[in-house]
A = this chain, B = another copy of it.
Amino acid sequence: MGRTIGPKGFHLKEKGQVMDVEELLRQNRSFRRFYEDRRLDRATLLDLVGLTRLCPSAANRQPLKYRIACSREDTALVFSHLRWASALKDWDGPVEGERPAGYIFILGDTRIATSFNVDPGIVAQSMLLGAVERGLGGCLIGSIDRDKLRRDLAIDDRFAILLAVALGVPKDNVVLEDMQDPDAFDYWRDANGVHHVPKRPLSEVLV
């Protein structure tokens, strides 16, 4: 804990350079500010979606579908329908120039299943780890104006909008810290813009 993870410590994937699982997870912080001009191409996002085909799915139904947004027009539309970092009361989300360069929306196909179980978490985390390996980072966002997003991206009614994976080259500095008080789980940002994330100690999560 206590390591700064962000632009300075961030590893770009080079040929043959891979991380072990702990390092992947450590690098995989929830980033909320990005180098917006470093755009993501559709092929990269398709690669990440492709990883979900290797994930477990309840009863192997695979009811999840994906909508990609990476053009400047689409990402601008999408951004206005997301709510960011509820714990940061005096922050309305990333300013222009620091917004995500792409999104993958995780949708639930209601023709295949009516409940989506733990599948969305599984695929979201898998795509994020794939992003880390590619020198990218992201943030999962569940607080979405679904009606407006559905309208603007023309998402059919048969798909439940489950989760947004916002992606880009991260600009945030994120520090993991041991939580001092079980009720003080809010993340916070210091005067230098460093984002602090308290994590419960192992002893507290074991029953």
B53-A199 in contact (CB<8A): yes
A130-B21 in contact (CB<8A): yes
B51-A25 in contact (CB<8A): yes
Is A191 an interface position by the 8 A CB rule? no
B49-A28 in contact (CB<8A): no
The size of the chain A interface, using a CB distance under 8 A, is 69
Residues from chain B with a CB closer than 8 A to the CB of A56 are 28-30, 125, 128, 140
Which residues of A154-207 are within 8 A (CB) of B?
155-156, 159, 163, 176, 182, 185-187, 197-202, 205-207
- A200 nearest in chain B by CB position: B62
Q: Which residues of A contact B (CB under 8 A)?
A: 18-22, 24-26, 28-30, 46, 49-56, 58-62, 64-68, 86-87, 107, 112, 117-126, 128-130, 132-133, 140, 142, 155-156, 159, 163, 176, 182, 185-187, 197-202, 205-207
